[in-house]
Amino acid sequence: MKILIADDDDYTREGLVESIDWSRFGIEEVVQARNGSEAKSIAAWFQPDIVLTDIKMPKLDGISFAHELAEMNPSCMLIFMSGYMEIDYLKSAIKLSAVDFIEKPIDLMGVEKAIEKAIAAIHERRSAADMKENRKELLQQKLVNILISKDFDYEMAKKLCGDVDFSLKRNYYCVIIHDNEKRSNTEEVINLVTDFFDQKRMQAIGNYAGDYSYTFIIACDTKEKYRMSGVFQAFLSQYTNFILGVGFDTNDIRSIHNGYQTALLAMNCSFYDNTNRIFYVDDEIMQQRNLEPGLYNEFVGLLREHPYNLKEWCDKVFDNLKTNKYYRKEQVQALFTSMIIVLCRENREVLDGSEHLDNEEKIELAIRNQDKLEGIRRLLFKLITKLEERYQEQSQYSRLIRGVTNYISNHYGEAELSVSQIAEYFHFSSAYLSVLFKQEMNITLKQYISNVRIERAKKMLELDYDKITEIAIKCGYANANYFAKVFKEVTGMTPIEYREDKLNTSAQKN
């Protein structure tokens, strides 16, 4: 807080400045004025929270100064000082809503009590102003929700427009704004946007829509609508982390819902475009279509029969999606979520080093978090590349042995996995399958299963996500103690020692 002390008596001013512990009151700046005229000039630029002023001063008396201060800074708290307790002064002080009237000679305790009283009044006023502002923000958010709703309540909207001073007779744009910076302070973003359009003599009310996106309704004069494109570009030039989807404009608040729907369609185009930051709708985009239902089956067929053709097929699908922007983002995400789930379910080894995708919920989340189609493409192609590498490694082996290793890769986490179970699945006797496997792989089938489990356990231990008991279960060991025993026989370390060693090595590298 800031205080201005105005008095023509140097001794009084300096005595107050030196004798009072201003920091105790939260006052950080103290400025002095020698007369009323100087006090007026200082108050204009200093904008004090409290003014402690003498009434009898040369050039401009305290009462006259206070009248002019009330026009310049009506929220400022006044404390008068005077050696003349005249009734006219008291009446003037009351009219000016003075906090207190202190008689000279000055009593420091009386001054401190008056300052405490002034600070309490400031806090009360600010608290009331904050409550009013918060209520206004809530009403604005409620108004946004009503205006974009299909079930439009005109009377309620009309009342809320009056409550928040939002014009009923202007031109309106509904705009979806996405924050690429992904700030957690949504109020900060809303204030930033509304302040920008306020500077352009336009009204903007907004509400957080989730996933770092906001819905704004912008009101401008009808004659201004033709320069709105330039205004939006100016906004993006000033704030480089935003993307805009602009809906059709309207001069009737009853039609804002339609503008909102077209703004959503416009923003949907940003999913396919990595270069532009503002999007509008056209007739073609308005005619949205559904994805071909056979795409998923085609993907699964190639995955199982011709995995080396997957990239070429996916490239064509992605090119088609980027060319035709009328597919809903949610549909595309759902399609690729299903594709990646089946790819990972049937080929778990592609997830090595990708523990953020080790269950279907995580896969769905990873796809949903991709703001751009290109991000989904990179993720899918990374998995397909790992799949191709795996097939190349296995190409030297027979179809049967490849099938066995693939089966183990997908079922190593099952405690009941055994040689006999695998043999039964492939319709061989355990003994015969074991002989065939040893001939090609130079390792027993039982030892291969154990090696796969231990290798998976190593990768999980290096990430420091799961508890040892959880890793044991995930790797097919029903008993954590048995897991620790087998792990030490293979690696020479217990699981805990292995994790600590890897974490220390990683810390030294960083």
* Six-digit token string for 21: 């512990």
Task: Give the confidence band of 147 by pLDDT, cuts at 50, 70, 90.
Answer: very high
Contact 101, 83 (CB under 8 A): no
Q: Between residues 323 and 247, which one has the greater pLDDT?
A: 247
Instruction: For residues 370 and 376, give the distance between their C-alpha atoms in angstroms, rounded to a whole number.
Output: 6
Contact 205, 166 (CB under 8 A): yes
Task: Give the confidence band of 338 by pLDDT, cuts at 50, 70, 90.
Answer: very high
Q: How does pLDDT run across 264-300, given as a tens digit for each residue?
A: 999 999 999 888 999 998 777 666 677 888 999 999 9
Q: Between residues 444 and 460, which one has the greater pLDDT?
A: 444
Instruction: For residues 20 and 309, give the distance between their C-alpha atoms in angstroms, rounded to a whole number.
Output: 83
Beta strand pairing status for 203-210 and 171-179?
unpaired
* Six-digit token string for 212: 């770092």
Contact 409, 349 (CB under 8 A): yes
Rg for the chain, CA atoms, rounded: 36
Query: Over pLDDT 90: what percentage of the chain?
Result: 40
pLDDT recorded at residue 75: 86
Note if the pTM is more than 0.85.
no
Task: Give the confidence band of 243 by pLDDT, cuts at 50, 70, 90.
Answer: very high
Instruction: For residues 492 and 38, give the distance between their C-alpha atoms in angstroms, rounded to a whole number.
Output: 84
User: How many C-beta atoms surround the C-beta of residue 296 within 10 A?
Assistant: 16
Task: Give the confidence band of 353 by pLDDT, cuts at 50, 70, 90.
Answer: low
pLDDT recorded at residue 356: 66
Query: Over pLDDT 70: what percentage of the chain?
Result: 92
Q: How does pLDDT run across 368-385, given as a tens digit for each residue?
A: 888 899 999 999 998 888
Structural domains in the chain, sorted by start: 2-106 (3.40.50.2300), 167-286 (3.30.70.260), 297-388 (no CATH), 399-509 (1.10.10.60)
3-state secondary structure of 318: helix
* Six-digit token string for 373: 């189609």
* Six-digit token string for 231: 């205004």
Is the model's pLDDT at 354 over the cut of 80? no
DSSP string covering 195-244: HHHHHTT-EEEEEEEETTEEEEEEEE-GGGGGGHHHHHHHHHHH-TTEEE
User: In the predicted model, what is the mean pLDDT of the chain?
Assistant: 87
Contact 93, 101 (CB under 8 A): yes
pLDDT recorded at residue 217: 95
pLDDT recorded at residue 510: 58
Is the model's pLDDT at 228 over the cut of 90? yes
- Angle at which helix 154-163 crosses helix 108-147, to 10 degrees, equals 160
Contact 143, 121 (CB under 8 A): no
DSSP 8-state code for residue 245: E
**How many angstroms from the chain centroid is the CA of residue 287?**
31
Contact 281, 262 (CB under 8 A): yes
Instruction: For residues 347 and 339, give the distance between their C-alpha atoms in angstroms, rounded to a whole number.
Output: 12
Rounded to whole angstroms, the maximal C-alpha distance in the chain is 118
Integer CA distances (angstroms), 397 to 105, 391, 401, in order: 105, 10, 6
pLDDT recorded at residue 427: 87
197-213: average pLDDT: 92
Characterize 421-442 residue by residue with b for buried, 16 or more Cβ atoms within 10 angstroms of its Cβ, and e for exposed: ebbeeeebeeeebbebbeeeee
User: Which of 81-95, 172-186, 327-341 shows the lowest mean pLDDT across its residues?
Assistant: 81-95
3-state secondary structure of 50: strand
83-87: average pLDDT: 62
Contact 503, 496 (CB under 8 A): no
Residues 6+ apart with CB under 8 A from 485: none
Which among 329, 323, 404 is positioned nearest to 367, based on CA atoms?
Answer: 329
Q: How does pLDDT run across 474-493, given as a tens digit for each residue?
A: 899 988 899 999 999 999 99
Q: How does pLDDT run across 30-64, given as a tens digit for each residue?
A: 999 999 999 999 999 999 999 999 888 888 888 88
pLDDT recorded at residue 74: 86
Q: What HEC string does 123-137 produce?
A: HHHHHHHHHHHHHHH
Is the model's pLDDT at 218 over the cut of 90? yes
